[in-house]
Each structure stands twice: as structure tokens, then as C-alpha cells.
Structure 1
Amino acid sequence: MKPYKLLLAAGVLLLSMFVVACGGSDDDSSSSSTAASSSSTSSAAATSSSSSTTAEETKSEATEAKAEASEAASSDTSTAAAPSSASSAKPKEGGVYKFQTTSPRIGQDPINTTGTGYFYNWGQGLSTLLRYKIGQEYAVEAYEVQADLVNKWEQPAANEYIMHIDPAAKWHNVAPTNGRSFTADDAVFSIKRLASQDSRHSGYWMDLKSVEKIDDSSFKVTLTAPAADFLALTAFGFNKMMAPDAVEAGGGNLQNGPQVGTGEWLVDCEVDVQCIYKKNPTAHLKNEHGQTIPYLDEMRNVIIPDVQARFAAFRSQLIDQHTLTPEQKMVIDAKYPQVDILKAKSYSGRMIHFRNDQPPFDDKRVRRAVSKAIDRQEIIDVLNDGKGFFSYSMVQPNENAYLSQERFAKEYVQDIAECKSLLAEAGYPDGLSTMIWIANYSENYVATVELVQQQLLECGIEVELYIHDRATYLASVFTRHGTFEGMAYGPQGTFTADAWLNAYYHSDGGRNSGHVNDPELDKMIVAQHQELDVDVRTKMMLDIQEYLLDQNYQLVIMGAVSDYAYWPWIQGQAFSAGSDYPGGRIYQYFWVDPDKEAEFRK
């Protein structure tokens, strides 16, 4: 087995569990964003006007929002009603949902970008062979697959899959596909293109031995060896199907279009302004009621770069959803009791990376000393409103494969005496000096590192902060064999545990920024990759996490628990492990209650 070589760009690294709902990042944009809604009768031209109005109106309210945070702290608060379950009512079809996420980017082909500027925008017009189960009835702790372009599959051998295409699946009715059926030839072409050396997503197909057409509606995939996560990776949002005739029309790539797919949306974007997503009239997926997915007629991504302006837009009902800071939540609790607030975990952890190949962090004792000097609970309480938990940034194959919070908490108790003892054993009885790199993602990220700096000083570890622009930070840290010095602090994206381990920890991993070179760990990663027995693999995953906890090649600081605010006419909030990053398919299950919208917009 060859290890994963996922060449992931910044978009992966800045995402939280509900990244599609709460926002994303691109190669050069921030991770914070919001969602929005408006009248279902507006045209594209009206949308452009609405975008301009939003920017102007929200500018004056941004300062007011900050002031009201302190006022609300002393006000009476009301508990907002919880959002209704995605399956508690039959969805109502129609309506428009406005949101704000990464600005669209141009000149990108789905095989050579990992930027959310593509996948959250143009990429919404393309489909994957399979998708993840989405809904509040599904556990968020694991990826479960269901049909998309492929509506059934067989596994005649441990390394073989026969896929059958949904006969209702069609390409968009635009040139050059003109509404023709999705065929096995299209699937074979797309898989080979995704697995090619030119593709940034070839790591997901590293076990591919061959893919061959059986007939127009079925094809066979043969792997070099069993791969436990093959179906889950097939459903991953990067693995989009592409039309051969579209690639040919684009001159051998899709960098400048044509933008055509089999997805649920017809997408039209204007960089740094907006994207409009109109429901595909030939969308092939249906729910248990026989309704076509998606339920909305239209979505709009209206770009609002300023974070406070986004909050002002939400409060003005110009947008439908906003991810709340603790201060903003106080405002909502005090003044907007009708707003639904949903709490959610983010499996995209915040981590400290070490240069494990250089002194002093090539010594396991020094890495552990740093860990014991950090008071993670203080970070959670002081900077994150007491909300947080511990997890590696990987979605395990099942809920039993996660280390318990009790196990993490026991390991992560601050112990300055042990820190000093470990440093002395490692040859640093008087402490040491080092540096930590950070990108200015947000005030919270910088404040976290400043607090860590103070905590480390208690143990005699003097740390100099190097705050970089995102581009420099990402190029130096989130790449194979990072060039940062000492330590680095930042977020990590959410993937299947198998993909995450192979990318970040295998000695040949494409995201092995910390220069981890551990033959024992390599063996453990390869073994779990090929293990098909669920119980045996669960035990392997627990053993790997214990090993990582002992070695401290990276330090988990925390995973966030965030507050997501929705206006009550937005229904059907649906979720999946990792929030279906980067597929963005959770929006397809949202719907607008027109009666509630009319009531609250009076």
C-alpha cells in the first residue's frame, strides 16, 4: 500500500465541523462566514442590488453590535427554541436561502484545487458517485454512505466493487452535455482523471488498480488490496464527476469551464460579489416523500467580508444564519429570543505542530513537557466561553473508536512540576527558548497563542510569537515537510481517520508537516487501512490514538463547540460527519417555512 499524498490547500485547514453552514475558507480568505435568506421572487439582478444594500446597511450597524454586547451582558436572557428536526415535518418546497461563505474563485479545475472558493461555489454543480447520510437522525461521529449517482453497489470480493448508476441521473441541460444521461463511461473517465498524477485528489484513489465499464449503467472498480474506507472516500466532496465532453470543450481541463455537472444546482458566480444557485430541474435524488432534493428553489452566496457586518446583516434579517461569538450570543439571547440557536461540535481541532526532526522537539520528553505546561481548560474557559472538547481532527469509522473525553482530560491536566522534570531529563534544567508560528486567522487564535505563551513561561519555556499572513503560514506549515521553525499553531481540517492518518502521520504522507518518521506508526496506519473487521479496526484506532497521545507529534489544544443562529423560517438543518466538507450537500436539505417567514418579517 502506498501512503496518502493529499496535497491539500488552505481551504481544508480552516474548516470546522459545520463549515458549510457556518462558513469556509479559500486559499486567501478567512474561515468565518454566514448564511442568508430573502424573498423567493427576486431575480439575479435584484440579488446584485440586495448585495449592495446589505453592505451599506450593515456598515453602520457593525459598531452598534459591539456596544450592545456589553449592554446585553446585564440584561435578562431568554432561551431560544431548538430548531425542528430535519425529519420532524414534511419539507415545503420553494423559497430562497441566502448565505455567506468563501468568495468564488475562477481558473480552477476540480482535480487541481482544494480551495473552498471552488467547491462551495462552482463545485455545487457537480456530484459524487456516493454521498454521506445527512440528517439529524444520523450520528455525526462517523461517515455513513448512501446513493447518489450510483444507486446500488456490490462487493464480490474484498478488493472489488461493482457500481450501478441511477438511471435518472442526467447531466445539466446545457452545452455541451445537453441533458444526456450520466453513464459508466463518464464514471470511468472521472475516476481515472481523479487518480492521475495531475490530480490533487489522487490520494483518495491510491488503492485503485483498475476501473472498467461493464455496460452503459455499471462499472467495476478493482483495488490493489482491501481498503476499509473506500466507499467513504468515494463519497468525499473532492471526488466530483466530470463530463469528458466538457473537459474536451475546455481544451483538456475545466479551468475556464464549461461549468456543467450532474449536481442539484445550476451555478452562476461573480467573484467577490455573489454566487446564485438555481435548482436543477432534472435533479435525480428524492426523499422518502417522493420530493425532489433540493427543496429550495434558489440559494445565494452574498459576499460580506467584514465579520461584524455579517452579524449586523443577520440581525437585520438580511441573512438567515450566523455563527455567534460569545458576545454576539449575549445580544441574541437578550434581544432576539425568537432566533433558533444550535450548538455543534467541530472535529476540526486546533493543534500545535512540532518540528519533530529538529532539536529540541526531536526529543519526546520536550514535546511532552510542552503539553504538560499548557492549561487547556483555562483556554476553553477564558477564551471560548467554557465550550470545548478534545479530539484529533479525524472522523472515526464509528462512535466507539474515539478516545474518551476522560482519557484526554487525564492526560491534559496541567502539571508544571512534571514539565520542569521532563525538561531537566532532556538536558534543559534551566528551560529553553523557541518560537511558534501563527497565522492571524482571528483574534481568538492570536489570543490563544498569547495565553499559551504565558503558560509555557511558568515552566521556563520562553516562546517568541511569529504572526504571519495566511499565505506564508500555510505554505510553510500545512505542506509536506514544513519549513516553519520550532512550533506552529493553527486549525486542522476534518477527514476520515484513515485519510488523516495517512496524510499527516505516515512518513510519506503528503501533509506530514512535522517531519514525523516513525516506522512503528507507519505499520499501524497501514494495518488499519486494510482491516475490514469493524471491531478489530475499532481497537486499532484506539491503539493509534493512545500512541499519538504518548508521542505528542502534534498537540491537541481543543475542538470548538459553536453556536449557530438561524431565523425560525429556516427548517431542516441537517448534518453529517465533518459537516460534509467539502461537499456542501447539507444545504440541499434546508427548506423555508413561508408562513413563519411572513410572520417574522412583518
Structure 2
Amino acid sequence: MIKRIILFMISSLMLLSLLIASCEQSEDTAGTIKQEDTGQKVTIGEEEEKEGEVVEEEGKEMVKDSMGRMVEKPEYGSIYTCFEAFSPQDWDEAFQPTWVSSGSRLVYQTLVEGDYSIGPTGTGEVGWRINPFPFPDYCTGILCESWEIVNETTLYFKIREGVHFQNRPPTNGREMTAEDIAYSLLRMVNSETSYNHKAYPFGREITSAIAVGKYELELTCAEGMLSRLWSGYVGTQGWTVPREAVEAYGDLREPLNTCGTGPFMVVDYIPDSSITYEKHENYWQKDPFHPENQLPYLDGVKVLIIADRSTQLAAFRTGKVEQMTSLTLEDKQYFEKTQPDIMWGKYLFNYFTIGWRVDRKPFDDIKVRKALSMAVDRQAIIDDYFQGDAELIQTICLNVPEFKMYYSSFDELTPGGQENYTYDVDRARELLEEAGYPDGFPTSVMCRSGSEAEMLQILAAYWAEIGVELELDIEESGSWNGRYYSGNYEQMVTFGHNPNRPEMLIQFTDGQPMNFSKVNDPKINAAFIESAATLLTDPERNYALVKEIIQYVIEQAYSFTPPSPYYYVAWHPWVKQYTGEVSIGSWPHFNIHTKYCWIDQDLKKSMGY
């Protein structure tokens, strides 16, 4: 019965994909992206193991990069076109966080960001397809040349000389100094409308930001908060803005008033249509693979605002945009048949987790939680629903290179944790009987429509086998958000399990707004404090601690995480010095690969685009 439900859903999804593909091939989607006969020439189509392989073109000048590889000589010029699903909600970090102030990502910079040279285009040590904590070992200095952990409450930064703001009034391209960074951080934390004011408040995560010299900066925090100081004000938030621009305009919420040190500046914005950026002509950074070359190579970036999924796919298929993320296996299979020259990378991202309220019956009993966990054949879901393209264990932490120090395979779990991932319906029934529910019980889950609801129907079929009747309380995003954060759900709720920050443990720590299972476990609460205190000062201790606590959370069955599917990033082969990086470090660094990549216009034209 369960397998029939899964197969029916797969068949429905495949039919929908075919219908979408058929529509895309036959009509002009939304009247702005037109289908063209591209006359494409297949130049790349090797096995997946050769992801992102450099393909030498005949007649192209080859040079040796800093890693000793023979690669095509980078070319200057061209406009890189990409898309966002929504217009930016804001442009000023003092009002909205960096992840929704998306239009400013190419304009402003933080003290550090992810090191592009250790990602897929470089050594491959990390994937740069998620948004992790900006671990110092994975970072490179941006507005700073170097940093030092002075003690358990103090960070010191040597600020980079020769970094200039973009050439627009009132800064007119002047040099940035440590005073600008100190001003920006304090402005952000003291703005009552900012995310940091609430999440990383003054007096706790930051107690001072002082320019101790023109190119020297000192940041301090309360005891035990050093990693949160680093996260909130060094590598995840903390864009540097010029004081005189804020004083001239009152704020920086208008796109043409933005002025940063980043590689591109906004020159045009049409709400719900497009953002146009031009190259910052006095940008400071050199190419890590070709240190003699000044970045960026591109003359500019064009961001189209495309909300409709079929229009996004049409824009990518016809070469109107260079790259696309969050593609499914079905999308990949379709493109591989129709356009085998497209380049691919796969990655894990946030699927969803079910939080069941452990502060209420019946989920206050670990036997009930274990029973529901053991009643689900996760491997069958992986094999049948996700066509084998998913990962089994993703609670809190994704199986990605960035988190190798925290992740546990099945064999590394405790016996209790392994039991929770083992499909055993008879044992599940025994546990329910021992807990006082021999006939099962009714329950409900608040969720959103779409893939969550589809997966929950599969889980409902499994749980029905042990007498648990699951009702889906489906909400639209607006009302779901309200109930989600207020805790207004009876039994269970689906939520994004924040796999980008496993070291924070915020999903299971008492008092944290993302603790949707309402866990209050002294062992986890203590680990939350110790993790924040040790991440920078004693990383090996931190890694062991967090890995152990994740295993403990799995053993206690404090949530239920279905298998997580892989997603795909795709790009056209004319995008060079790029291998599918999505976010180079953390939230503010989406699309920042555009300062490193370049466009092979000859190849693009030869392929009919």
C-alpha cells in the first residue's frame, strides 16, 4: 500500500514535469523569455565524477594558474545575467537582515568571507553550496588582511589598506578605514529595526567596536560569546557602509544611495523586474588563481526578478541567464537529454524536519517518539520516492565537507540512535503498547503545501500501520509563519532544520525561538553555552562536543527528519572559473562568485546564444 502511494506520487510528479517541459517548448513564457532554436553544439558530457572539469577550447590561449593547472586565460568584459525569485525586501542591513536585502550583496563587504580558492574551482576542500558558519579556517580576509584571537572576549583585525568606496556622492571613492567598520557595526546593532539588535544584542555578542588605529580594529564581547561575535559581526552580518552617506540620506534603503566597497555598484533598479550593476572601477581584490589579474573580470551583473518557476527554467534553457540553483533530479534528467552541454553540481540543502512537542503528551514519552521513527522505512523513501538521490541522516547537520567534523554516519551513531533509523514495525507497535497506546492515537502536524505535504502523506501511510492517524493542518506561508513562531500548534510542526549552523544547537535549546519541539534538556542547554565559548578558542573540543550532542539528539528522537534529497546547480559552459559555487561562506555571499568568474563570449556565440 505504502509503495503504491509513493509510486503514484512519483508518477504524478513525472507527468507534471513532462507537461511543464512541453509547455516550455511550445510557447513564449510570460511574454519576455522567448524560445529559440539555439543550434547547440555538445562540448561537454562526461560522467558526473568529472563535475566542473576545465574544457580546453581549440585556439584559446592557455596559462598556468596559481595551482599549477593549465587553464584558459581569463577574459575581461561581458555582463553576467542571473535571476532572483523576489525583489529585495530592503537594501539597508540596519532594517532587514542580509539574506533578504539581496540587492546589496554585491555592493557591500564584510571583514571576512569564504575562501574561493578552497572551493570546487580550487582545491575542493569545501563545497560552497550551503551557508555555513564562517569557520576561520575556511575564510579569507576581505576588509581585513589578518585577524587575531586576543583572548576569550576580544578579536583584533588588521584592516586592509587601499580599499575604496564606490565612486558616487557623497563618498566619491574615498578610502575605507577601521573607523568605517566600527561605525557600521555599532550602527547596525543599535538600530532597533535590525536583525542583529534582536539576535546579537549589544552588551552580549558585542560590547565594543573600536578603531584603535586607522587600519586597526578591536571587537569585544561578553564572556562565552566569542563565536557569536565572529558570526554576527565578522563573517555573516556586518556590511561596512560610509557614515557620510547615512548622514546625507538618513538611511541607505534606496538602491541608488547604496555605496560600499564591493565589486559592483547599483546603477538601475526596476522593482519586480531587474537590478543592474556596473563594475567598481577601483576595486581592490586580485584573482586568487591569477594574482596578477585585477578583479572583477565582468563589466557588470544583471539580476532579473523572475518569480514563476517555468519562466526561470525557460530563461536558463535559452541562455538568458548563466546559472540556476535548486534544480531537482527531474530537472537534471530533462536537461541532460535536451542540452547535454550544461554543467552540473549537486548539493544538500535544507529539506524539512518535524518537530513534535515533547512538552505535551504523547510526545513527552521517548517510546512514542522512537515508535514513530522506527515505523518509517527511510531507505524505501530514498529508493522509491527520491530515486536513490537522497541522504539518510541529516538531523541538525548535513553530510557535506564543511561539516565533516560534526557529521555522524549510521555506523557512528549510538545503539539507540541506530535503532531509531531501523525500520521495524513490530518493535514500533511494542513501544506504543509499552507507552500506553496499544491502539495508536490521533495527531496533527502544521505544515505548508507542496513537497512538505507530499512527504507527510507518505509518512501518514507508514504511521497508520501502527495505529497513528495523522491529520495535515496545511497553512499558507503568512499564517504558517505566525503560528510557527508563536508556538500555536497542537502536536507537530514542520520546520527548516537550519543545517547551516549545526554548532549552534538552537533547534533543541531551551529559550531559543527555533526550538519547535519545545525541548528542555539540561545536557543540550549546557552544550549550547559551551559550544559558543569553544568554537574559536578550542575548536577540537568544540567539534567533539557538538558531534556527541547531535548523536544524543538523534538517540532521544527529539525530532523526525525525513531523508534529504539532493538538489542541483547548473551553469552554461561559457561561464569560466566557476564550478557551481552558490554561497561563498555565508548568507551575505550569494552570487559573489560573479567577482571571480568570466564569460567566454566566443564559446557562447559558437553555441548559438
Provide the TM-score with structure 1 as the length reference.
0.80
Q: Which residue of 2 aligns with 1:16?
A: none
**1:440-479 alignment runs, 5 A limit:** 440=449, 442=450, 444-477=451-484, 479=485
- Range with greater deviation from structure 2 (415-424 or 223-232): 223-232
Distance 1:553 1:189 in 2: 42
Offset of residue 362 of structure 1: 2.5
Which residue identity is paired with 1:540? Answer: L
| Correspondences of 1:147-166 after superposition (within 5 Å) | 147-166=141-160
**Structure 1 position 583 matched with structure 2 position 589:** yes
Query: How far apart are residue 339 of structure 1 and its match?
Result: 1.5
1:449-598 matches, within 5 Å, as: 449-477=456-484, 479=485, 482-499=487-504, 501=505, 503-531=506-534, 532-574=537-579, 575=581, 580-584=586-590, 585-598=592-605
Deviations 1:184-226 (A, max 9, x none): 2211122223333723124346432322221121121123235
Q: Are residue 125 (structure 1) and residue 107 (structure 2) matched?
A: yes
AA of the residue aligned to 2:561: V
Give the CA deviation at 1:127.
0.8
Shift of 1:454: 1.1
Out of 404, 412, 415, the position equivalent to 2:424 is: 415
Measure, in 1, the Cα distance between the counterparts of 2:214 and 2:29.
49
CA distance in 2, matches of 1:515, 1:193: 34
- Relative to structure 2, which stretch is displaced further, 145-154 or 582-591? 582-591
C-alpha distance in structure 1 between counterparts of 2:597 and 2:304, whole Å:
17
Aligned partners of 1:591, 1:459: CA distance in 2, in Å?
A: 57
CA distance in 1, matches of 2:404, 2:253: 39
Amino acid in structure 2 at the alignment position of 1:222? T
Displacement of 1:430 in angstroms is 0.9
Q: What is the distance in 1 between the residues matched to 2:496 and 2:566? A: 14
**Are the structure 2 counterparts of residues 570 and 59 from structure 1 closer, same or farther at C-alpha, using a change threshold of 3 Å?**
closer
The residue number in structure 2 matching 1:211 is: 209
Residue 52 of structure 2 aligns to a residue in which SS? coil
Question: How is 1:192-591 mapped onto 2 (pairs within 5 angstroms)?
Answer: 192-196=186-190, 198=192, 199-202=194-197, 203-204=199-200, 206-225=204-223, 227-228=226-227, 230-231=229-230, 233-251=232-250, 253-256=251-254, 258-267=257-266, 268-288=268-288, 289-323=291-325, 324-346=327-349, 348-389=350-391, 390-394=393-397, 399-407=404-412, 410=418, 411-440=420-449, 442=450, 444-477=451-484, 479=485, 482-499=487-504, 501=505, 503-531=506-534, 532-574=537-579, 575=581, 580-584=586-590, 585-591=592-598
Cα 1:92/1:365, change in 2 over 3 Å: farther
Matched with 1:105 is 88
Q: Aligned match of 1:139 in 121, 125, 134? A: 125
1:236 to 1:162, Cα distance in 2 relative to 1, 3 A: closer
Q: SS in structure 2 opposite 1:401?
A: coil
Name which of 48, 53, 77 aligns with 1:84.
53
- Stretches of structure 2 that go unaligned for 5 or more consecutive residues are 1-27, 37-44, 55-64
Change (3 A) 1:593 1:105: same
Aligned to 1:55: 30
- Corresponding letter in the other structure for 1:200: Y
User: Residues 79 and 300 of structure 2 are in contact (CA less than 8 Å); yes or no, is this contact kept in structure 1?
Assistant: yes
Q: CA deviation at 1:265?
A: 1.6
- Contact kept, 8 Å, 1:571 with 1:592, in 2: the verdict is yes
Q: Percent identity?
A: 24
> Per the alignment, in what secondary structure is the counterpart of residue 106 of structure 2?
helix
Aligned equivalents of 1:78, 1:536: Cα separation in 2: 42
Q: CA deviation at 1:407?
A: 4.2
Change (3 A) 1:176 1:572: same
Q: Return closer, same or farther for 1:507/1:156 CA change in 2, 3 Å cut-off.
A: same
Residue 405 of structure 2 aligns to a residue in which SS?
helix
CA deviation after TM superposition for structure 1 residue 413, in Å: 2.2
Give the residue type in structure 2 aligned to 1:580. Answer: S
Does the 8 A contact of 1:169 with 1:283 survive in 2?
yes
Inter-partner Cα distance in structure 2 for 1:96 and 1:162: 38
Give the structure-2-normalised TM-score.
Answer: 0.79
Asked if the contact 2:584/2:593 (under 8 Å) is kept, the reply is: no
Partner of 1:5: none
Change in CA separation of 1:232 and 1:398 when aligned onto 2, cut-off 3 Å = farther
**Equivalent residue letter for 1:208:** I
Aligned pair in 2 of structure 1 residues 556, 449: CA closer, same or farther (>3 Å)? same
1-structure distance, mates of 2:169, 2:513? 37
Amino acid in the other structure paired with 2:96: T
Shift of 1:385: 2.6
Partner Cα distance (1:472, 1:266) in 2: 36
Which is worse superposed, 204-213 or 420-429?
A: 204-213
**Distance verdict in 2 for CA 1:78–1:187, change over 3 Å:** closer
Which structure: larger Rg? 2
Pairwise CA RMSD: 2.9
Alpha-carbon offset, residue 421 of structure 1? 2.0
CA spacing shift, 1:145–1:115, aligned 2, 3 Å? closer
Shift of 1:84: 3.1
Cα deviation, residue 523, structure 1 = 0.6
Per the alignment, do residues 78 and 178 of structure 1 end up closer, same or farther by CA in structure 2, a change over 3 Å counting?
A: closer
CA distance in 2, matches of 1:445, 1:355: 18
Distance 1:366-1:243 versus aligned 2 partners, 3 A rule: farther
Residue 30 of structure 2 aligns to a residue whose secondary structure is helix
Evaluate the alpha carbon distance shift between residue 117 and residue 208 of structure 1 in structure 2; reply closer, same or farther with a 3 A threshold: closer
Q: Residues 486-535 of structure 1: CA distance to partner in whole angstroms, max 9, x if unpaired? A: 11224344433334x1x323212232233222222111111122122232
- Partner-residue secondary structure (3-state), 2:479: helix
Give the secondary structure class of the aligned counterpart of 2:589.
coil
Letter in 2 for 1:402: Y
The offset of 1:435, in angstroms, is 0.9
Q: Secondary structure at the match of 2:292?
A: coil
Shift of 1:158: 3.5
Letter in 2 for 1:238: Q
State the SS of the aligned residue for 1:525: helix
1:387-413 deviation line (CA, Å, top 9, x unaligned): 111223457975232112544694412
Gapped regions of structure 1 (runs ≥ 5): 1-52, 62-76
Equivalent residues, number: 527
**Cα deviation digits, residues 95-130 of structure 1 (max 9, x gap):** 222112232235553133237442x22333111111
Distance 1:290 1:338, change over 3 A: same
Question: What does 1:33-72 align with in structure 2 at a 5 Å threshold?
Answer: 55-56=30-31, 58=33
- Kept after mapping to 1: 8 A contact 2:105/2:588: no
Contact 2:166 2:172 in 1 (8 A): yes
Opposite residue 350 of structure 1, the aligned amino acid is: F
Could you report, residue by residue, the CA deviation over 1:332-390 in whole angstroms, capped at 9, with x for unpaired residues? 222222121222232x2421122232222222222222222222223323332311112
SS in 2 for 1:201: helix
Give the Å deviation of 1:282.
Answer: 2.0
For each residue in 1:531-584, what CA deviation from the matched residue of structure 2 results, as whole angstroms up to 9, or x when unmatched?
222322221111111111122222222333223222111122253778633421
> Which structure carries more relative contact order (alpha carbon 8 Å, separation 6+)?
1
